[in-house]
Structure 1
Amino acid sequence: MERKDFIRKFAIAALLPSVFIAACTESKNKGQKGAGQKTQTYTCPMHPQIVQDKAGTCPICGMDLVPFEKNATEAVLHLDESQMALANISVIAIGAHGMQSFKQLNGRLVVNPESTTFLSSRIAGRLEQLYVRQTGEKIRKGQPLYKIYSEQLASLQQEYLLAIAQAAQFPQDQTFARILKSSRAKLVLYGQSDAQVRQLENSKKTSPYITYNAQAGGTVAELSVSEGQYVSEGSPIMRLEGYHSLWVEADIYAAEAGNIKEGQQVKVVVPGWEDQAQFVKVQFSNPALQQNTQLLQIRGAITNPSDQWQPGLQANIFVPVKQQENVLSLPVDAVIRDGKGSHVWIEQSKGKFEPRLVKTGTESADQVEITQGLQQGERVVVSGAYLLYSEYVLKKGKNPLTGLKMI
């Protein structure tokens, strides 16, 4: 019995070192494996300063965190052809050429008085019926506007029928011919159309009612009467405004007046319709300052396709200031600006893009001068630059300008 216990203890003592060595080796292998394995990190697409080692949501904006490679140090992006097509990436070689700089003025669209029609009563009487009862209604040419009752009109019609009978009875007498012509002219003067006059001639019946039709199309901007109201000759009825042509007005300081001449062309852009810019001639420059200000006013006429713009809309007016030659310039959208500076994206090779710090100079409505950071002939991304910026932040978890220096 004692001999068996001795053999058992001896075997256990002999196996202990092997078990210990195996355990240490396995622990070492696991440590080496863990050290060689990269830890996945996550960041917020909107707040790259948020970095975590597990998935979750951003504590600032609540967006889902996305994985990114924390140890990626190469300051370039690689995109395949499908990604470039989806992001609408387009590239041009930057070159030197002339550049027109502009001064921007804040303006507004107002009603063009040349497209405004004032309607007044041709004859005294009572407004029997109004066919237009509210402002804002669109009126077409020839549309009935109102019907008026007038005893004076009935008298003029009777006078005309009498002149017709006299002229027919004495066809050789020029006096009656002149009376007939004068009687007809009175009816036309008081708003009777040729068709209404012919109807009176055929029916031989007078009527104290006359319907007035619109002589021009437009929008009812003001209605000065109500149905059943008595009006005198010349009383205002309504005001129609046409919006197919508008005035664009802008205020300038007196010291700037010398830079803007009547007949000069300026560029007008209505916010929201940047793709429909128009070049407008300055038709008028007010020689007197506006009351209680140091401002002068300029204006011109702008066409309004499909009446899509309304009076009161803001407009940006770009006045040419000077012409520069041999300037490196890019479209405005190609330059990305943030708190760290301005940068563009350079295409190193097909599908490979890197950010580049630049300094800008004179800027126009659609072009910006590049004074430092680029060389003529370099290929620059002009559309899709903001998507590259976002993709860089998403993949790298940092601002593209981090660590960059001006070339």
Structure 2
Amino acid sequence: MERKSFLKAVAFVSLAPVVLLAACKDAGKKQAGEEKVQTYTCPMHPQIVQNKPGTCPVCGMDLVPFDKNNKEASLTLGESQMALANITTMMVGAGALSNFRQLNGRLVTDPEKSAVISSRVAGRIEALYVKETGVKVSKGQPLYKIYSEQLASLQQEYLLAVAQVTQFPDDARFQQIEKAAKQKLVLYDQSAGDISRLVQSGKVNPYVTYPATVSGVVSGLTATEGQYVNEGGEVMRLEGYSQLWVEADLYPAEAAAVQVGQPVKVIIAGWENEPQTMTVQFINPSLQSGSQLMQVRGTVPNPDNRWQPGLQANILLPVTSKGNVLSLPADAVIRDGKGAHVWIQKARGKFEPRMVSTGMENFDDVEITHGLVAGDTVVITGAYLLYSEYILKKGADPMAGMPGMGH
């Protein structure tokens, strides 16, 4: 009995290394097999991870492969990838940063660029050469022709005075009469050429054509062909758009923050990337009728008449300012539920995320209160593409596991 037990023990000891070696080989094969298993994740929801292709149960997007064993927190891109993603960087430095309060406003026609075309004589509108609003006219362009019996009478008076001077050239009284009659014609907008042609022909012409005194756009017509108008009666109105007013609404409590002569930024709807600089020229001291609002006003140039009166134009009124702060363009800061982060360039083509705390902001820049130091090289365009690329390659949020820093 003892002999059988001894033989069994010897046999077990002899076979144990072989069994253990086989088990280790099987475990190694199993582990190697596990390492070769491809994992997939959703580009929009990196928490979705599985070992086979499919679609995201949250958004339905196709899952993409990623290497779950790659724990490096940085991304490395080639030159072509950087160019395709339009990645640009800047070195962070201290400077001034201002915050703004937005005042709702609008573009308005500048009255200084408007003109009323009125009849210089009483008579009947024989012809209107511009018959609709919105038409551009140039200075000197004929606008209307008028028939005036009064003008014909003055022309006849002048012809008689010229005849008297011709017959009695040495008579000072006749010379004064001729000058007075000529001056009357000049006051009725008869040019030197018109008067010269009148003398040469010796015939009165009751029709006179009046040109535009300024260039502009016809904004209103108050006379029609065949209509009689009085001397000084309005025929049409012209508006010039080469310069426009900007009027913005202002609450009385905000009036202390703006002064006449103060430069401000103006953002015109549709041209947000081209802010204009305007000097405040007038602050209406009284409230608008039916409201509790004041008005602030200035002018902006309107090159090529590209803006029209009535467009929305907001004034950015500086209300706070800080000096010696670190700031970045707003697009360089990526925000999510875990906080805010930026991408730092550690070497050419190598980028890594970094959590930051933000402070004061305006429409263009964000103050960085913690997380950066002067001299850091930060990605200012293409940051969101780096964020997406990280999720695609790593299958995780770049901020996952990092302590939040707050805003």
TM-score, normalised with respect to structure 1? 0.83
Q: What corresponds to 1:99 in structure 2?
A: 97
Report the Cα offset of residue 198 of structure 1. Answer: 2.6
Q: What corresponds to 2:107 in structure 1?
A: 109
Report the Cα offset of residue 138 of structure 1. Answer: 0.9
Q: What corresponds to 1:264 in structure 2?
A: 262
Q: 5+ unaligned residues in a row in structure 1: which ranges?
A: 1-26
Farther off after superposition, 397-406 or 262-271: 397-406
Q: What corresponds to 1:16 in structure 2?
A: none
Q: What corresponds to 1:214 in structure 2?
A: 212
Q: 5+ unaligned residues in a row in structure 2: which ranges?
A: 1-25
Distance 1:185 1:347, change over 3 A: same
Report the Cα offset of residue 256 of structure 1. Answer: 1.4
Native 8 Å contact 1:42 1:55 kept in 2: no
Q: What aligned pairs does 1:8-407 form with structure 2 within 5 A after superposition?
A: 35-39=34-38, 41=40, 43=42, 53-54=52-53, 60=59, 65=62, 67-69=64-66, 71=68, 72-406=70-404
Report the Cα offset of residue 270 of structure 1. Answer: 1.7
Q: Percent identity?
A: 56
Report the Cα offset of residue 192 of structure 1. Answer: 2.3
List per-residue Cα deviations over 1:27-84 (Å, max 9, x = no partner): 999978754433353645x6667777436799858x7x36341625433322111221
TM-score, normalised with respect to structure 2? 0.83
The amino acid across from 2:154 in the alignment is L
The amino acid across from 2:97 in the alignment is M
- The separation in 2 between residues aligned to 1:84 and 1:257, in whole angstroms, is 48
List per-residue Cα deviations over 1:127-148 (Å, max 9, x = no partner): 2211111111111111111111
- The separation in 1 between residues aligned to 2:275 and 2:401, in whole angstroms, is 40
Native 8 Å contact 1:127 1:149 kept in 2: yes
Report the Cα offset of residue 322 of structure 1. Answer: 3.7
Distance 1:398 1:180, change over 3 A: farther
Native 8 Å contact 1:318 1:365 kept in 2: no
Report the Cα offset of residue 360 of structure 1. Answer: 1.7
- The separation in 1 between residues aligned to 2:231 and 2:99, in whole angstroms, is 56
Distance 1:198 1:385, change over 3 A: farther
- The separation in 2 between residues aligned to 1:48 and 1:108, in whole angstroms, is 46
- The separation in 1 between residues aligned to 2:48 and 2:146, in whole angstroms, is 76
Aligned residues: 378
Distance 1:190 1:341, change over 3 A: farther
